[in-house]
Structure 1
């Protein structure tokens, strides 16, 4: 799940600031799953020839029902490390999903796409030989600057206090002003770099909404304390930023019945995460349910007209689902239905989002099966991948467990996942898919 932002429409203030704001709110069968290896948050070099189509290697085994233990195995594998868009961790997670889907008998595709304005580009701040992870703010150029530092409070006139910051790296605290205003204030005083330290636990990303002349990065509250002390002492710091002006390459994973050329029903969820968290609930949970549903629906062979999709770069702005939806629209091949699973691992009931007849049907089917399911809606200024399809006229249903309290934070760990709700959502989604597939195939 991700926060809406102006123009690009990207989650909750728990972790991310709204664009340009420096707010103060808290912010299976087949091969056994293996954990996705931890990886550094560095820019991913796109493969010149990324795999496009891969043949199946096996068949799905086990009962044709959603099995929560199998879903939990996928969740643990995916949540072993962050899966930030454009990093090796994301690509490893994609390859893991492909291996599972091929083992179930699906033909798979690793679909590359590019996007700009990447809000999760990782850089670093170095002090006294120590490297501290930093996130490059949207609008920051790339490069490295090294200079004496200066503490500037909130980077407002009181914090700068009329000082000449020429040739210095300013270190500011988050809050009070927009990121753009902080940047403009320290630039006017002569600074050549800016580090913004979070005012609450965890990292955060930001958007300057302008093209900066020098690197601007953010760091977590935990890591930033040492930088605040260093800046008060005037110590030398070095900022390395990859910049945000070049394109980032990320990947969707798509699976379908071998030989199928059309998707009547797409079942999907995003597999990427934000930095600084395992992303267990958001959204290893939804991705794990998609993989387990793929198995359950392929016990007698993959179903005609059914496609599975794991989307990249949802957290950066729904870029993966938008890329797939636009590709299908250009080919006049949009699905009849899109079923989205996002944040499905913590909560007490199944929440169904959507104003379509299919959403009402999902509640009816779940209730008849003894699963508590209720209509719901997204919190203000948030979004998820179903929106990319709904915007093009596709009937969508979004399943979620509705508890967003841990997402985008270090608390989003596998031990917080509640198997019962993960299973209930998987069961409810399976009932709906089985109901929709026959009618979708007739249209």
Structure 2
């Protein structure tokens, strides 16, 4: 995931700051398949109302739902109210994390001329005016014997992480740091985590930096005014929303649990109609559909908070469950970005690229409904990852390639396709029902991956140097 208002430092290697990983999909046989209808599928399909999904997306996408903001909590309350309107008891699970709020103002004037800088994640706020001094890569050797008191350090990218450069310069007295690129393009960087030793830090381009170095090497005095306002770091809280459909008859309870999940937060500036009001609304609608269907399996409907910051809500949920509860979960169906008219075809991502109970049930379902099994491949960057890491069969449902409106202000309701919503809801709904219904006489045993063999990270980390 790209630009974020809040970032966790407790999961430094878990930040989903890049775009969703591109999976390599399993090849399907080229032959056409005969559509074999299962009349029991209609118990789910006939109850799905795609207008309900669309209207809930429209409600949720009225404003960005950034983690730990009042807007995200308003979405939590809306989801809770919807579940309760269907007759569910609802748990709101709060969790805390150490987060960062990006600055609302970032200005840099060099001798009165603005250079349009970018702030580093975890830079503190500050408003300083001071002469500029070039310190190379700001390594300890280059700073040996230097006194930067009352100065702003000009630093080149490279050799050591950004955060180390800033600490090295600050310990020599620098009141601010400007880091310029060592190649063409801009720097969208992070200092790696909050640190009381940091001073206000911004980035500029290679050309801008080289120009300033030339001036300083020629003996010119260069005056800088650096302003970073609104940045802060500290404890934040977000919430998961959980509603469970218990087995209809206690005497027919097989003891297993299926989780149907999504995330309800969005990135700053993006209404998040597809990412991920679409998945959240579909979880809600399928909760309504399943409420009165006879099942012998518990179906747990969950929407997670703070997914965009590194899967924080789902990680908390999985980590918080006792092992005996984890052992009961036989499948995780995770819905993320399931309605964009401008995205590609439906795919399923597993964290290891291997088939599991979720892909098998869903391929059988899509084969019955559409005549072709839905493709699956390897991919992370969503809330199926913590389940998969725990050895639970899990898959992400998403359309690939992604739409061009991903993580932008253009991710709005007018880009949503009811046809795609209907298709995904039918495939997922009938796949879950195929396992959970009373009529199914097949053995219902968990199909688990070896935890030791499951990759622990399946999403991108942001470079810090």
For the 8 Å contact 1:172–1:195, the answer to whether it is kept is: yes
1:288 is matched with 281
1:179 is matched with 162
1:252 is matched with 240
Alignment of 1:410-425 (within 5 A): 410-425=409-424
Q: 2:349 aligns with which of 353, 358, 380?
A: 353
CA drift at 1:210: 7.1
For the 8 Å contact 1:174–1:197, the answer to whether it is kept is: yes
2:364 is matched with 364
The DSSP-based 3-state class of the residue aligned with 1:315 is: helix
Taking a change above 3 Å as real, the CA distance of residues 283 and 403 of structure 1, as seen in their structure-2 partners, is farther
For the 8 Å contact 1:340–1:396, the answer to whether it is kept is: yes
Alignment of 1:126-141 (within 5 A): 137-138=121-122, 140=123
CA drift at 1:386: 1.1
2:31 is matched with none
Q: 2:101 aligns with which of 121, 133, 145?
A: 121
For the 8 Å contact 1:371–1:428, the answer to whether it is kept is: no
Matched, 1:13 2:18: yes
Q: 1:342 aligns with which of 333, 336, 340?
A: 336
Q: Separation in 2 of the partners of 1:431 and 1:121?
A: 41
Taking a change above 3 Å as real, the CA distance of residues 343 and 284 of structure 1, as seen in their structure-2 partners, is same
CA drift at 1:400: 1.1
Unaligned runs of 5+ residues in structure 2 are: 22-43, 109-115, 206-221, 446-465
Tell me the number of residue pairs that the alignment of Structure 1 and Structure 2 aligns: 373
Taking a change above 3 Å as real, the CA distance of residues 432 and 135 of structure 1, as seen in their structure-2 partners, is farther
Q: Separation in 2 of the partners of 1:409 and 1:171?
A: 32
Q: Separation in 2 of the partners of 1:185 and 1:168?
A: 13
1:74 is matched with 56
The DSSP-based 3-state class of the residue aligned with 1:114 is: strand
For the 8 Å contact 1:267–1:290, the answer to whether it is kept is: yes
For the 8 Å contact 2:92–2:240, the answer to whether it is kept is: yes
CA drift at 1:269: 0.8
Deviation track 1:81-116 (CA, whole Å, cap 9, x = no partner) reads 222222222111111111111111111011001223
CA drift at 1:341: 0.6
Alignment of 1:167-206 (within 5 A): 167=150, 179-180=162-163, 183-184=166-167, 187=170, 190-193=173-176, 206=190
Q: Separation in 2 of the partners of 1:153 and 1:344?
A: 50
Deviation track 1:48-87 (CA, whole Å, cap 9, x = no partner) reads xxxxxxxxxxxxxx98533222111111222222222222
RMSD: 4.6
CA drift at 1:150: 7.4
Matched, 1:317 2:301: no
The DSSP-based 3-state class of the residue aligned with 1:332 is: helix
Q: Separation in 2 of the partners of 1:274 and 1:174?
A: 28
For the 8 Å contact 2:361–2:432, the answer to whether it is kept is: no
Taking a change above 3 Å as real, the CA distance of residues 154 and 386 of structure 1, as seen in their structure-2 partners, is farther
CA drift at 1:242: 1.8
Matched, 1:99 2:81: yes
CA drift at 1:407: 2.3
Alignment of 1:321-332 (within 5 A): 321-330=314-323, 332=325
Q: Separation in 2 of the partners of 1:94 and 1:197?
A: 41
For the 8 Å contact 2:162–2:191, the answer to whether it is kept is: yes
The DSSP-based 3-state class of the residue aligned with 2:333 is: strand
Taking a change above 3 Å as real, the CA distance of residues 2 and 10 of structure 1, as seen in their structure-2 partners, is farther
1:43 is matched with none
Q: Separation in 1 of the partners of 2:180 and 2:296?
A: 50
The DSSP-based 3-state class of the residue aligned with 2:87 is: coil
The DSSP-based 3-state class of the residue aligned with 1:310 is: strand
For the 8 Å contact 1:149–1:171, the answer to whether it is kept is: no
For the 8 Å contact 1:149–1:168, the answer to whether it is kept is: yes
Q: Separation in 1 of the partners of 2:261 and 2:273?
A: 16
Deviation track 1:176-196 (CA, whole Å, cap 9, x = no partner) reads 985336635754774434588
CA drift at 1:345: 2.0
Q: Separation in 2 of the partners of 1:2 and 1:302?
A: 40
Taking a change above 3 Å as real, the CA distance of residues 303 and 408 of structure 1, as seen in their structure-2 partners, is farther
For the 8 Å contact 2:133–2:151, the answer to whether it is kept is: no
Q: Separation in 1 of the partners of 2:282 and 2:416?
A: 13
The DSSP-based 3-state class of the residue aligned with 1:256 is: strand
Q: Separation in 1 of the partners of 2:119 and 2:243?
A: 33
The DSSP-based 3-state class of the residue aligned with 1:389 is: helix
CA drift at 1:426: 1.4
